[in-house]
Structure 1
């Protein structure tokens, strides 16, 4: 028997829509028509726009609340039979958001228009007087304020991250250095198709490395075990749910014949040892991930140094296995829009292509953590995204990855 969505589910859905419109700069008027990147979907109603505006306001996202409330009011005003009371109420919310954003002159303008729809609304009359007095007290700098989205507080490179999610941002000169080729493996007769998304350090996409039957097995097996993805929380000595990572995952142990088979194939292609052992392992089991609408993983590194140094990674499987030297990611589905894997520092973008796999190193051959491996899973805009990670540990790779004393390499 299913469970009805709760308050947390509603909040998560509305925040996902706010995140998507910010990341992909979706025009509100097209959302109202149900058109996303040329694809027709279900249109949003004025009431739904207002509810999303409420969530933005609760989170103190005043720029976003103005956008959503404004579209709600616009839709109500366009209805063939205008509900004046409802329209005035929507515009009252919009005026309040304009004021809280720091533009009382816009709040006054909207409130004056709202009063035309409901001339007896005492709340609007009080607000109107308040906005008039606020405008009189405005300084010259306040009058020059421009309506724009505030910069993201957490990541100075957030603009680059969102730009990559929307498309390639490398210059034509940088793009000209990228190429595709056939790459040999440990078996002379087995070659793979490789597409370079970045040269130094290498970020590559191996095409056609997993079959449909193998994909079906991974998804079917993982579906029975899916749970909400968590983040390692060093500060609070544990793990936690976070809005920085919205997905579900499941771990597929190597006691499955298919897992062992896929691990051997990855070893052939990368030259690294993908063996999963009961302790002091060379690689981790497959982590299968499912992303729904708005699902994403904000910019992060895969290496676990802080987690290990804190003593939290103390189980026998990983305790003496070292850090995550490299990452392999199978893409198990095509994605209609969004869902790319991006590297803000490198300006590299890897699209989610069914049957392909992304691969990159997180640690340099000198053993130094490579901060350039910072990456993110872009919010999913249309469709469903399934992926599967395989992380290689330092133990077992010493004679495969090579080493150097030069910390720059």
Structure 2
């Protein structure tokens, strides 16, 4: 890997002797501030010179760990110096064994049981379940074992912030060093790019992702929505649009609540939502059977078959019904907060546009979609569950189909 210039703050971290590092070392702050890239030489030094024994690399999933960490790690050491079994998650590098473990939920801590660890690297630490993280700390029992982690900020009630990052927590803990990074700490970014990435976030997302602050989500979720720049009419579509774009249908299925189909077209740069189907059985006073919804899905799709039909993963009976009609449903990625963040970026960059007359329910929901303030006080970030069915369907599409790295371009 061809490393770019490191900033002074990162150089001090990299060059600090590992025996002088804390038991827990956390790099936190804004996106694109160089945290992950700077961690690679530090971690390689630990692999070569840290205490002997099994090491682990953890993150949300093996896939995200590969995208965020392993690709650059492997490019750095070269193909001749490592072996990686993606199925078992075992890496052999410089004579050391490293286990890759996904930590998607509290139950993932079972993969740590019985292990004696000499070190750990945690990617996207704030997304890691508390039970898993504390089990991981328990397993770092080899003398001199240390944990290195990168994270973007979350809400200020998050266990990671309250127990390990605040000044009070660091004094109480005594085993933690926290390094805060912002965009200007990464000298490899030019001013044009920094201006561009700053423009991709607004509101509390800007405070978290650009300023690197641990702040509460409150108010309108998509406050960056613009009723002109994020909408379109037929005349705005690029010439030959349908021959160039890829079509998807994204579905949020309701029983007592509304059922929504969104007709999503992706031209590789912008997602265009051309049409919506919206039926609220409660409001209409009549619920529909799955077979009726399947009939109307066929009418909605017409003759131009989509690449994928993305469906709420909990809608098992509906998926069976449409599968029997010859459709091949794809389970949506229902990671709510990351989906909202990705959708916010698409909206802010004006890369998500919705038909101004064909999608009235979407346009109504997007302006009234708000954070649940009562849940926030309990340390839980979630939207108010009311009139959110178009928002859910759009989020399913963005989180399932759009690659995170595309949002950086």
Please give the range of the TM-score, normalised by the shorter of the 2 chains: under 0.3
- TM-score with structure 2 setting the length: 0.22
Q: Which has the higher contact order (CA 8 A, sep 6+)?
A: 2
